[in-house]
Amino acid sequence: MMAFVALLFTLPMIAQDGLSDAEMSSATDSYHLSISEPFDGSLVDLPYHLLQKVSIRFLGLTPYSIKLPSMIIGLILAILLILLLNRWFKNNVSLLASCLVILSTPFLFLAGSGTPLIMMVFWPTLLLWLGSKIQGERRPKPMYSFLFSIAMVMAIFTPYMVYFAVFCVIFVLIQPHLRFVLRSLPKLPLIITGLIILAGFAALVINIINQPSVIMELIAVKDFSFNNFVPNIVNGFTPVFRWFGESDTIFLAPLIGLPVLALALTGLFSTTKGFFASRNSIASLLIIFCVAITGLRVDAVVFLILPLSILVAHGLKYLLEKWYGLFPENPYARVSALVPLTILFGIIILPGLLQYIYGYHYNSKVASQFDYSLDIIHTNLADETIVAEKNYDFYKILEDSTHLRVVPSVADTDADGIAVLHSRVSKENYRLSRIITSPMSENSDIIYLYTVKGEKNGTDI
């Protein structure tokens, strides 16, 4: 566990050490979040933005402070996945399946991306685990019902999770065993749980009335067109099934390694006989749900992590049962299985980690979507004027924690990146002094340094 924590909090800074436009936008929204905004109706992804605001306030505007909330939530999500799978499978199967998923490229990407995208996997995993604590007990504790309702209320203020709430209701109604569990629950906790959920939906309605644009964010149709539904699905799932070449999204291809995908498919086929068992049918239905929301937004394909973990556990369970079934009376067969299992896991995990580390550096289409300016500004500049047009609001945050001054124009320069004026001079009278580049092979010039025209011995910073 300690090794995983160390990997989780260091790998993103090795691989995704730049910042995407989405991360800059998220950091800007988080930093400018005020105390009054939640009361005014700004509740979308509120828990994540509060955590990111605290991180930036205490650590300053750095890539690490922007990504730290996702790392923390990623650690909690990994624990939830282990707990969830442990409810449905034996300890060895749940632990092995969890390791394969939480050390996969899509999980590490989510945990290293400073955006609320990880919440789209976090809330359903939490809800499923709490649901399993209710469904799997003869006398479920009322506390889990209350926690489930509170988590559901918080989840509906995350994009796409309104759909997931509807999905949960439909699934409970059509699944015979869950209908029986629902009828057998104590009446008072059930009523209180229902009232909490109704209060949450009432708050959602009030939020929408105060800010009608919120509904467009929550159902993810702000810039949606039905003509884009199928192309979004194709573009979203292309990295899943493309084994070579480059991806047209921010995800590496392949998004899921071939051995992990083979285990998941094995698990899918092994559940056909007991499809109507809740843990079996839910994985297949979650895949359908993932396809549907990917049609609304391409990056929603990361939701695949949740059903993938369930199917991988099914696949491992099937393989182990078949292996032990060959030698039912031979204890040495169980011990000898550790050797090929260790080799198999090494073959699966190590190439995935190497792909994640090197892919975000050397895959041209993916690496070019990250900006390295912030680290370079902290390293090279001390008391200058940054002239930024793109992501101006983001760089404006630097004024609160540094001696830098940020102005919103590059009108008198030909720079495509960030212009920096030495000694806080007037923009009308300067000359190009130095160009700082990023590790990119193309369009690598990202910072332009200027000094005063005619200034003798102008200092290059």
Name which of 119-133, 188-202, 269-283, 371-385 the model is least confident about. 269-283
Closest residue by Cα to residue 435 from 411, 454, 414, 452: 414
* pLDDT computed for residue 457 by the predictor: 47
Provide CB contacts within 8 A for 35, sequence distance 6+: none
Give me the mean pLDDT over the 303-327 stretch.
84
C-alpha distances in Å from residue 294, one per residue of 231, 244, 247, 272: 10, 22, 16, 25
Q: How do the domains of the chain map onto residue ranges?
A: 2-367, 373-452
How sure is the predictor about 140, in pLDDT bands with cuts at 50, 70 and 90? low
C-alpha distances in Å from residue 181, one per residue of 40, 165, 173, 175, 190: 39, 18, 11, 10, 11
User: How many other C-beta atoms are found inside a 10 Å radius of the C-beta of residue 285?
Assistant: 16
Helix (H) or strand (E) holding 406: strand 405-407
Strands 405-407 vs 385-387: parallel, antiparallel or unpaired = parallel
* pLDDT computed for residue 425 by the predictor: 46
Give me the mean pLDDT over the 172-190 stretch.
73
Length of the chain: 461
CA angle 340, 341, 342 (to 5 degrees): 90
Query: Between 189 and 395, where is the model more confident?
Result: 395
Residue 244 has pLDDT above 90, yes or no: no
pLDDT in tens, 421-459: 665 445 556 777 777 777 776 777 777 777 766 544 444
The position carrying tokens 């083979």 is 262
Quote the distance between the C-alpha of residue 433 and its chain's center. 40
Name which of 92-106, 337-351, 403-417 the model is least confident about. 403-417
* pLDDT computed for residue 52 by the predictor: 92
Query: Between 123 and 272, where is the model more confident?
Result: 123
* Side chain identity at residue 143, one-letter code: M
Read off the pTM: 0.85
CA angle 274, 280, 281 (to 5 degrees): 100
pLDDT in tens, 17-72: 788 888 888 998 888 887 766 555 566 788 898 899 999 988 888 888 999 999 99
Closest residue by Cα to residue 231 from 289, 294, 152, 153: 294
* pLDDT computed for residue 436 by the predictor: 79
One DSSP character per residue, 153-180 reads HHHTTSTTHHHHHHHHHHHHHH-HHHHH
pLDDT in tens, 78-100: 999 999 988 888 888 888 888 88
